[in-house]
Amino acid sequence: MNDCDFRPTDEAWLVVDKDSWPDVQLEALVSWATTDTRFGLAVSNPCFEYWLVLHFEDGADIATKTDCRYHLHRYLPGYQKSLDREFSRDDLENAVRRGKARDNPPCDGWPRRPGVTTAYKLVENMLDCPPTS
């Protein structure tokens, strides 16, 4: 990463889903994220949509992408990898709370079991940041 414009208070995050990423590639992302305290990695297993489901429910019985799509379509009918919806702060805080509860004990590196996401860490950081002017 070129750090010419990277200020000490900036953060850089990678957001990915487990999907079909080989473990070795995810380990490389974990390695990158540990090179600087300002770097973060948010991984959802089995897919990014799992993070969206957590805005509505605890996602406890989701193990596959198919499960995830089924649950998500109950709340967002017609969802097709794009989202024309805004989430309230309460929605985000609920998803963070549910994400933390599912990541227990906290995963080391990235979530290896389905039904877990670390996206809550990024959103929690964003919610804690003071607004910029």
Count of domains forming the chain: 1
- Output the pLDDT for position 42: 97
Instruction: Read off the tokens for 25.
Output: 């590639």
What is the DSSP-derived secondary structure letter of residue 61? T
Q: Are 62 and 50 in contact (CB under 8 A)?
A: yes
Asked, for residue 1, whether it belongs to a domain, the answer is: no
Q: Are 11 and 78 in contact (CB under 8 A)?
A: no
- CA distances to 25, 32, 57, 117 from 98, rounded to whole Å, are 27, 27, 8, 10
Asked, for residue 109, whether it belongs to a domain, the answer is: yes
Show the domain range for 110.
Answer: 12-126
What is the DSSP-derived secondary structure letter of residue 74? H
Asked, for residue 133, whether it belongs to a domain, the answer is: no
How does pLDDT run along the chain (133 residues), one tens digit per residue?
555 678 888 899 999 999 989 999 999 999 999 999 999 999 999 999 999 999 999 999 999 999 999 999 999 998 888 888 889 999 999 999 999 999 999 999 999 999 999 999 999 999 987 666 5
Q: Are 56 and 87 in contact (CB under 8 A)?
A: no
Q: Which residues contact 128 (CB under 8 A, 6 or more apart)?
A: none
Task: Quote the pTM value.
Answer: 0.89
